[in-house]
A and B are shown apart, each in its own frame.
Chain A
């Protein structure tokens, strides 16, 4: 694209992808950190013996928790793929295409992976097909 045309497109169509990506990374990161805390607490129950552990595990099989699990999958996928995008940008790859990297890689491919995981969980664990 000619430089003047590129300036025109860049200036007069504000790309929120950079800000959105940053926000998503930050929020998903905090959520995942919180999840890690809860997860370690749960696994810690192993030291309290089989009954305590199995009790906690059966709680997590309930449909409500399965929904949370699907949300967790979504959060992980978003954070991971956006993280890949950020690493690529930091290494100098894809500066010119940072918007496409966000929409196609982080959200596009991320969405596909999410659906590939979420739909089976939903069907088998929540609807009990």
Chain B
């Protein structure tokens, strides 16, 4: 089994998941409760939902899936330029993974001090 084929399938699978999650996310943030429908995008309006650990888990999963899809896409763009060799490609992959982890950490940090 080659690693590349899993990445290839995952890019498409995460893409499909993101489509569903994005529509759901938009509905949740703009239409789920009355204040949101009125356009009040405030801390108070969303506090109930984001204090709930189940919603937090869903949001973080959404973020991680989006990060995989986006950073893997960026990695593909970088690999298309042969100026980089095999070693540089590995370094790029490592940098992208670290960036992804940090990004996700920033996302989790949003739920601190609620």
Residues of A in contact with B (beta carbons under 8 Å apart):
26, 29-30, 32-33, 36-37, 40-41, 43-50, 53-54, 57, 60-61, 76, 80, 83-84, 86-87, 90, 125
Contacts and interface: CB of A to CB of B under 8 A. Distances in A.
Interface in B32-91: 39, 41-44, 50, 63, 66-67, 70-71, 73-74, 77
Contacts of A46: 43, 50, 110-111, 114
Contacts of A57: 41-43
A32 B42 CA distance: 24
A57 B42 CA distance: 7
A36 B112 contact: no
B101 interface: no
Contacts of A41: 106
Contact of B74 (A30, A40, A61): A30
A44 B12 contact: no
A36 B66 contact: yes
B31 interface: no
Given A26-B77, A30-B77, A53 B109 contact: no
Contacts of B114: 46-47
A87 B12 contact: yes
Interface residues of B, number: 29
Contact of A36 (B16, B41, B67): B67
B43 A54 contact: yes
Interface of B: 12, 15-16, 18-19, 22, 39, 41-44, 50, 63, 66-67, 70-71, 73-74, 77, 103, 106-107, 109-114
Nearest to B74: A33
A33 B68 CA distance: 11
Given A36-B66, A76-B22, A90 B74 contact: no
Contacts of B15: 80, 83, 87
A47 B63 contact: no
A32 to B, nearest CB: 7
Contact of A44 (B19, B77, B109): B109
